[in-house]
Chain A
Amino acid sequence: MQIPAPFDYVRASSVDNALALLDRHGAESRVVAGGHSLLPMMKLRLARPDWLIDINDLYELDYLLVDGPVLRIGAMTRHTTLLESDDVRRLFPIITDAEHVIADPIVRNRGTIGGSLCQADPAEDLSTVCHVLDAVAVVRGPAGERMLSMAEFHRGPYETAVAQNELLIEVRVPIRAGSGSAYEKVERRVGDWAVAAAGASVTLAADGTISKATVGLTAVGLDRNVTEVEAVLVGQVPTEQLFAEAGQLAADACDPLADQRGPIDYKRHLADELTRRVLRVACSRAAASVPDVTIQEG
């Protein structure tokens, strides 16, 4: 049995209570939601908080809501809820794709979107997904709420803009007509962290050309989005050649490290390969939502 260093534990009863507890216990307190990242780190004594503030009673943050032009996802929404949601599958299949390959059912039953984003692991899937979907993070602190783009939210590996006395409470994802999205990951074993993964979201205009496109990468040393691809894709009719061009840009943009999951060349190759695959699927899904548009072969 792996045993963490001694710590104290308190269960928050509301968002305000959680914020008050964070304030009271200060820098050495940590919020625990699903606990699938923090608890293993504590058991290995890599993380040693003095206080654990358990927010699993904050049911007020466990919701999925289509609210006009946005999907609002409460920070305590479990992976399983996202995986099983018909609204999510219809509006943002990239989320469903990603949830299929996040860990295993036991982890998905406990893990939350808020925990995933705040952990900011470079190999974490939902961070890429939220970047690709232009999601907005709603963060609450003593001074009230602030809205952060994902670029503002993420400050790098394991680092976010959420201050010690703040809590991520909601993720808002803009709904765009004529869009399709997809996510694909290569892993050594089901449930392992990604060797590499890619996500894409594409919006098609009525004439079948791409009006908006975003590609993001996971676990390859890039802060998520391959910004270069948008200029290449927008205004073009989707073709295999175009996807290959985007793939090349993704391979060039990433900066992977060699580790037990694979060497640099391979990960760079996956950035290319997976970018092409997710664009292919995203375009075809977008086309399915825009009548009269078909994707040209070749």
Chain B
Amino acid sequence: MLFASYGFIAFIAVMLAAYYLTPARWQWITLLVGSYVFYAFAGLECFVFILFTTVSAYIISRLIEREIKKENDYVAANRDTISKEERKAYRARAKKKRFHILLWGLFLNFGVLAVLKYSAFAVSNVNSIIALFGAKTLSLPSLIVPMGISFYTFQTMGYLIDVYRAKVTPERNPAKLALFVSFFPQLVQGPISRFSELGAQLTAPHRFNAKTVSFGLQRVLWGYFKKLVIADRVVIAIKTMLDSPEEYRGAYVLLLILLYSIQIYADFTGGIDITVGVAEAMGIKLAENFDRPFSSKSTKEYWRRWHITMGSWFRDYIFMPISVTRPMMKLNKAMAGKFGRVAASKTVAYIATTVTWFVTGLWHGAAWNFIVWGLLNCLVIMISEALEPTYKKFHQRFPRLTESKAYSKFMSVRTFMLMGVIRSLDCYGNVGLTFALWGSMFTLGGLGELLSGGIFELGLAAKDFIIVLVAVLVVYAVSVASVKGSVRERLYGRPVLSACLFGALLIAVIMFGAYGVGYDASQFIYGDRFR
């Protein structure tokens, strides 16, 4: 069931009614049933995989819990009879044992994800090598990729790692864990929640509260505005250019980068608004996934503000563990003696950053363009890091310039453009072609043609561009206003103004939503990519 469909809106209405009509202590069961019904629309065969993740996570988490209890009981009973060194050695052995149990959970679940999502990519790469030797190539496997498998696998593995780290107490009721794995609003495109933040909320009773429900629905409406009025309109011009990319070079590439930045922002943040809004209407607060990312002044900052839950997942469960592994610590110490502490730490951090971004690229899609996309982001971050002392000197040398508003805007625009250029690897889907088209931008061929009317031959008329422009300005204005606090909260005390504004928003969605324009208007970019 797609978010941008009448079916989903009807489903939400039924879910909200059922949720608040259910006695408080059974509400979580309504949520679980609703989540499974929602998932059933994706195909019953997908159930096997989500159930596998749930059952395996339950068993592994309970086994780890048992080991932690054994360890703590032993230490408590022998605290006075064994030395500190013996105690530490015992804890290290116990941790290693539960790490092996955790590995089974990770291996099984990431294994399923790898086979379903990446085997065709792996086979096609093997085929490319085989073909060089003239041997017979292998046939590509055609496997189903269950809806939301990347999201629920990463979320559930985060839970398992937290149990292993003794950061959370494992859920003892398998049905409650099943709800954490399958909570329907976030199944399609995240956010990737932490059990410590979401687990208890899902099963807690929530009484009907008009303000909470109306705030949630307002956020849903805002999401549809971004998705239907902006994203699904600009995608028409993007699609035209991508259908024959060789024809749209030079200035058109720049236009595509700009339009795609607008589309992905409106599409992804709009989808998350719908997700967070639906949860909010049921009294459940999900983690925010965006914090005005396009105002970032550096790539590093951008990645702290875009797809926040994914970034923090990779930081906490990949970057940090790699950085402090024994081999890395040894490398750090060995290098510190020879080249100094800064160089040693930088080397370790750069290795961990490269691995993290390689995996981030792979997570975004089973294709080379995504891997190159990840590694380019990594390269920009590492270059910025290496140039940090130079920037510092520049800032000290020209304080009036670097502290001016104009310089700050320049940094934001620079970051926006840089991220936009790298992001266009998503669109073209072919690394060689993308590089060639980037090169064509410098000639700016086609600028005259574009400005003399070519822009209106991409499937969007002048009025479409005006609608997009006005809508983008509205989104920008709300984004700026939200810096000072919740816009909905400020409107809450002014019911007439609030009703007028949200009424206008609803009318805008109905009147200007890009419906029936001959393409699949309802699919979300991230939902599609992370099935």
The yes or no verdict on A and B being binding partners is no
Q: Which residues of B contact A (CB under 8 A)?
A: none
Q: Which residues of A contact B (CB under 8 A)?
A: none
